[in-house]
Chains A and B, each alone.
Chain A
């Protein structure tokens, strides 16, 4: 089925470095539902890779497979050439940190403490040394605190270090999640919709923050619905539709790909895809009546019409220019509920 998908790696533009994260043939099934099917993805060192797709496409599920929250049914995920263990804390220890789509801060801890929790894997003081409080403990604790404050300076939250996380405004909570993830000194940072619910200014600030993180030598894999954000930001963009990778390439390539546009605007699916759960796309299609109407052409493009998804995605009609921007408007309102399911 993935004849159309760009194969394993090297559409990556600038040879940014050796491959950091390699996901090969990741399949995630929940009973009869296949949420992620055979996805390959490579993130190279120093690269920002975007992951987009309509709601319910399996982006967050794929993220959870990468971070050990889910154990993929099939396929493997390796980081720096080593297969990742299927335990979230070991994945973090290996050097992959993440944020969550629906903010998951430790809300009754202070901002500083949140970041210090992020330092957990990079410190070793156990219960005994906490009880004895020798000089080494004090040194490690001071170092942790100092490092956490540096990160708060970096994200611009230093002034609020002693506030409770729950009392921060929304945008700063997102920043704090990033600071907390950075505290684990990752080589790769996974951001799950870092700008969801942000206003344009905050989105721009986040964009700059992500660039600054990349400049520190940390690769970033980011899920986002804000198209302008993702295309500005990413060196490469991968599109996930109905659990499969549709295309991967530079912003320009992806932006101009008809199938992506069709997938976002909602190509009516003629060969009844009963098994697939596609309500979000259907909704997106109906809300955007006119364009959906023009794209009704049902084409049996592929030689392999085994999969309904492919049929739906290979559209003949090219929607007019500028439509590429509309999808995120229609998609955004749905982001919340579906995301929460994904995040379990």
Chain B
């Protein structure tokens, strides 16, 4: 496994430099400190005010930005980003009552959020100009917003930012290869390296000083906010809004982690794990109620299916380290098995209609059998060979299903036509196809399936976590780390790998049974190695790698992103796979551990800091949550 891009490693002790690890506070632009702060606040206020103005004359631009006094569409995003920037800025400047917003006292999060505000605003303004044909379509409000956010950006650039130490002047950059001989490129590269922010190692006060009730409250508030943000993102109606949403949320999350808030929050959730899990589950259940719209519920189901399958793949790839490129076939096996016993008129057993639990068992069982059949001969192979063979088996499944149509082979699957008209599930006499009213809210078909799928996802999460933290899970990880050493420790490599493979397969099969009913029909086409829409094996693998191998939330988040982005960004279409390729390369280069790093890696990253700060800040944190900085300083010293 590759190393994290940890600061001490990359900063490297360059020969001759005075103190290579000395933290550096250096603005990008040199301005008097008070001027920088003033500019920042002026920018924030200006941006907030601008969102209350009209940005364009016509309502042709989606979201209706023409109204004075009431922000709409993208203006809301700008407004929220600006307010957050203001809060963080005030917290960083030391305003009492807001200090908790920047626990590590760094100016970096303010700057990052300012960049986010700037990007969202300018994206909006430029999108208006481009789509409506010229700057003439901008109202004064648009210009105010552009200028104000630029001022904000300049102001935060002049704040004392925590950055990597200066590079030595004689430093040689072997990674540039022959390009390193060119002076300009070398200088530019050095400037880039020196511009890098450095905040991940800054000490953060422990949140344990908060009263327990407050910690619970924090979890609830964060879960509610996350639910709100997610539903907003899922329900964005047009491309521009979704792009703006991605920009804002991306920078906001980055800023929160740069401020150290993410670390504090993860500390709280680890301390109160059962409560955090319960709240998370409640938030997930609340989704169809909060976003009572069939289209978005459908999106939710598909994301859950995709995420659940990715989680199953995570057992194989993330825990056991077996590269499986044909995993989607198991989803297909489950879906086909469920379709055959669903009572569909196109099924060869059109009369038989199993109850859901039986159909789910059939789907799981079929996938399990296929998993063992494919795994038994292939798992004796290692590394690349296994990848190639699984890739082959994945394609064999699709082609075989295509040909089992009664012409090229026995009639089982109807070939490319698939099995259509799969009836809706009925659980305890509760037909998932019909809308049902809970309280004052009517849950439609997809909302019903969403809730069913949520139960299955929770089961899979439970299976994953319990399996990972057990004797068998440890042997999986041991095999991933070093198979020779693992067998020398008495682990029967083949058997343990086969268990992982079969478990992963049957979880995918379970998800497949629901997916068959949600989509009304199963056809062979989606179950291929790669395509432009999920699920396919390449996307599943990408979801696991992007999200973070070996984690629970990583693949789910990765799956959500990979599902939403093609869905929402229609304009990408032809370039989608190219964009994914580039994204994956960048992720592998700059964040190889994925969006959600594994606990083990976090341990590696923070083991020196967290205990220290925890000891140093016993009870110094005031109850109202205003962070105490001196404690952090002592801990860092």
Which A residues are within 8 Å of any B CB, using their own CB?
Answer: 67, 69, 87-89, 92-93, 97-98, 100, 104-110, 113, 116-121, 123, 125-127, 130-131, 133, 137, 140-141, 144, 162-164, 166-167, 180-181, 184, 343-344
B472 close to A164 (CB less than 8 A): no
Q: Is B481 interfacial (CB-CB < 8 Å)?
A: yes
Q: Which 4 A-B pairs have the closest CB atoms?
A: A121-B490, A130-B470, A92-B490, A106-B481
Provide the residues of chain B in CB contact with A100, threshold 8 Å.
485, 488
Is B273 in the interface zone, CB < 8 Å from A?
no
Please indicate the chain A residues that have their CB under 8 angstroms from the CB of B603 in the complex: 110, 162-164
| Chain B residues numbered 454-493 whose CB sits less than 8 Å from any CB in chain A | 463, 466-467, 470-475, 477-478, 481-482, 484-493
Residues of chain B lying within 8 A (CB to CB) of residue A184: 489-490
Interface string of B594-626 (1 = CB under 8 A from A): 000010110110010000000000000000000
Give, as a whole number of angstroms, the nearest-CB distance from B472 to chain A: 5
Pairwise interchain contact B466-A109, C-beta atoms closer than 8 A: no
Contact partners of B473 in chain A: CB under 8 A: 130
Known: A92-B489, A106-B482, A120-B490. A113 touches B474 (CB 8 A): yes
> Cβ of A120 and Cβ of B482 under 8 Å apart?
no
Kindly name the residue among A69, A119, A127, A130 whose own CB sees the greatest number of chain B CB atoms within 10 A.
A127
Q: List 23 A-B contacts (CB under 8 A).
A: A89-B488, A93-B490, A98-B488, A104-B484, A104-B488, A105-B485, A108-B481, A109-B478, A113-B477, A120-B475, A120-B489, A121-B489, A123-B471, A125-B471, A126-B472, A127-B467, A127-B503, A130-B473, A131-B466, A162-B607, A164-B604, A164-B607, A343-B484
Identify which of B1, B481, B491, B601 gathers the most chain A CB atoms within 10 Å of its CB: B481
Asked if B499 is at the interface of the complex by the 8 Å CB criterion, the answer is yes
Specify which of B463, B474, B490 lies most central, judged by the most chain A CB atoms within 10 Å of its CB: B490
Q: Please, which residues of chain A bring their CB within 8 A of the CB of B493?
A: 89
* Residue in chain A with minimal CB distance to B481: A106
Once the chains are docked, how many angstroms separate the CA of A125 from the CA of B473?
11
Question: How far is A116 from B477 in the complex, measured between Cα atoms in Å?
Answer: 12
Complex interface: chain A residues within 8 A of B482 (CB):
104-107
- By the criterion CB–CB under 8 Å, are B488 and A67 in contact? yes
Contacts of B481 in A (CB 8 A): 105-109
- Chain B 492-529 against A: per-residue CB contact (8 Å), 1 yes, 0 no? 11000001000100000000000000000000000000
Q: Which of B463, B467, B471, B489 contacts A144 (CB 8 A)?
A: B471
Chain B residues numbered 287-313 whose CB sits less than 8 Å from any CB in chain A = none
Q: Which residue of chain A has the shortest Cβ distance to B550 in the bound complex?
A: A108
Shortest beta-carbon distance from B627 to chain A in Å = 27
Q: In whole angstroms, what is the CA distance A301 to B490 when docked?
A: 46
B456 to chain A, nearest CB (A): 15
Residue pairs across A and B with CB atoms within 8 Å: the count is 118
Chain B contacts for A343, CB-based, 8 A: 484
Whole-angstrom distance between the Cβ of A235 and the nearest chain B Cβ: 25
- Given A131-B463, A164-B603, A167-B607, does the pair A106, B486 have CB atoms closer than 8 Å? yes
Give the residue among A69, A88, A105, A180 with the most B Cβ atoms within 10 A. Answer: A88
Contact indicator B477/A106 (Cβ below 8 Å): yes
Residues of B within 8 A of A131 (CB): 463, 466-467
A108 and B487 in contact, given A89-B493, A130-B467, A131-B467 (Cβ under 8 angstroms): no
From known contacts A106-B477, A120-B471, A164-B600, infer whether A133 and B488 are also in contact, taking CB-CB under 8 Å. no
Q: Whole-angstrom distance between the alpha carbons of A178 and B272 in the complex?
A: 36
Given A105-B482, A117-B491, A118-B489, 18 extra CB contacts under 8 A: A67-B488, A89-B488, A89-B493, A106-B477, A106-B482, A106-B486, A108-B601, A109-B478, A113-B477, A117-B486, A120-B490, A127-B467, A127-B470, A141-B470, A163-B603, A164-B600, A164-B603, A181-B489
Chain A residue nearest to B604 (CB atoms) is A164
Shortest CB–CB separation between residue B385 and chain A, in angstroms? 17
Q: Give bound CA distance, A162 to B482, whole Å.
A: 20
- A166 contacts across to B, CB distance below 8 A: 604
CB distance from B611 to the nearest CB of A (A): 10
* CB neighbours of A140 from chain B (8 A): 471
Whether B471 contacts A141 by the Cβ 8 Å rule is: yes
Among residues of B, the one whose C-beta sits closest to the C-beta of A94 is B490
Closest CB in chain B relative to A203 CB, distance in Å:
23
Residue of A nearest to B485 (CB): A104
Q: Is the CB of B485 within 8 A of A127?
A: no
- A238 CB to closest chain B CB (Å) equals 22
A residues less than 8 Å from B1 (CB atoms): 108
Q: A110-B603, A117-B475 are in contact. Are A344 and B484 (CB under 8 A)?
A: yes
A109–chain B nearest beta-carbon distance, Å = 6
Task: Select from chain A the residue with minimum beta-carbon distance to B475.
Answer: A120
A105 to B485, CA, bound (A): 7
CB-based nearest A residue for B492: A89
CB distance from A270 to the nearest CB of B (A): 40
Interface string of B364-376 (1 = CB under 8 A from A): 0000000000000
